[in-house]
Amino acid sequence: MKHDARAEEGVLYQLKTRGPQTAAQAARRLSVTAMAVRQHLYRLKLAGLVEFSDERRKVGRPARVWRLTSAAAERFPDTHGELTVEIIAAVRATFGEAGMDKLLRERTRRQLEEYRARLRPAGTSIAKRALALAEVRREQGYMAGCTRMPDGSMLLAENHCPICAAASACQGLCREELSLFRAVLGDKARVERTDHILAGARRCAYRISISD
């Protein structure tokens, strides 16, 4: 099979945004054959970018489920990660934790102004505001999406963190992010983080519902 770098990137993107899945599942989403996806997957496995496990099912043969390896993270770059980590270390050394907290609060204040302006056309509907927030985050590189859950809540999922290195060095960034979402969605919204990349999850996700 001829090497098709674009098709392989499509397979990687599916695993990044949809999580572990079989070749058949990826093929349906990409509108290609399962055989074509398998060929890409085995090539990617040789490159150390994907791995699989055979999972038993109630009926039939075990299903081969594919997932990204840690090496695949390089295909989804962290925005200026090394430089940001160095700046965080310099701020801590110069101004201490109090200075770092002040810096984070100022960053959140600026983000809040920007996000509120972007979400204003969505009105007061929490669902519409959540969808608008997902659009903003998607533009900023978080591979974000927002879906309505069976119970009526919204699930905001971010399949990539472009500031992961910085967040690892300064977890206050994640704390401020949650505060930002709560502030921008309004007092009537309850926002709970359900998945966290730094805790080992494949994505960050937030359940958004109407507060009591």
Output DSSP code: residue 171: T
Residue 17 host element (H or E): helix 5-18
Helix (H, G, I), strand (E, B) or coil at 60: coil
Please report, as a single letter, which amino acid is at residue 205.
A
Distance (Å, rounded) from C-alpha 210 to C-alpha 41? 42
Cα separation of the two ends of the chain: 57
Extended beta strands in 62-170, E state:
63-68, 144-148, 154-158
Q: In sequence order, what are the residues at sequence separation of 6 or more whose Cβ sits closer than 8 angstroms to the Cβ of residue 141?
A: 79, 160, 162
In the chain, CATH 3.30.1380 sits at 81-210
Distance (Å, rounded) from C-alpha 204 to C-alpha 202? 7
Please report, as a single letter, which amino acid is at residue 21.
Q
Distance (Å, rounded) from C-alpha 199 to C-alpha 112? 25
- What is the model's pLDDT at position 146? 96
What is the per-residue pLDDT across 23-49, written as a single tens digit (0 to 9) for each?
999 999 999 999 999 999 999 999 999
Question: Mean pLDDT across the chain, nearest whole number?
Answer: 91
- What is the model's pLDDT at position 3? 62
Instruction: Using alpha carbons, select from 42, 58, 59, 52 the residue that is nearest to residue 21.
Output: 52
Q: Over 80: is that where the pLDDT of 117 sits?
A: yes
Phi/psi for 177 (5° steps) reads -60, -45
Distances (CA, A) of 46 to 7, 38, 51, 64: 16, 12, 9, 16
Q: Is the sign of the CA dihedral 108, 114, 120, 126 positive or negative?
A: negative
81-210, CATH topology level: Muramoyl-pentapeptide Carboxypeptidase; domain 2 (3.30.1380)
Q: Which residue has the tokens 């927030």?
A: 133
What is the per-residue pLDDT across 130-188, written as a single tens digit (0 to 9) for each?
999 999 999 999 999 999 999 999 999 999 999 988 999 998 999 999 999 999 999 99
Helix (H, G, I), strand (E, B) or coil at 159: coil
In the chain, CATH 1.10.10.10 sits at 5-75
Q: Over 90: is that where the pLDDT of 208 sits?
A: yes
Q: What are the beta bridge partners of residue 158?
A: 144, 204
Q: Over 70: is that where the pLDDT of 69 sits?
A: yes
What is the per-residue pLDDT across 73-102, written as a single tens digit (0 to 9) for each?
778 776 667 788 899 999 999 999 999 999
5-75, CATH topology level: Arc Repressor Mutant, subunit A (1.10.10)
Distance (Å, rounded) from C-alpha 147 to C-alpha 96? 40
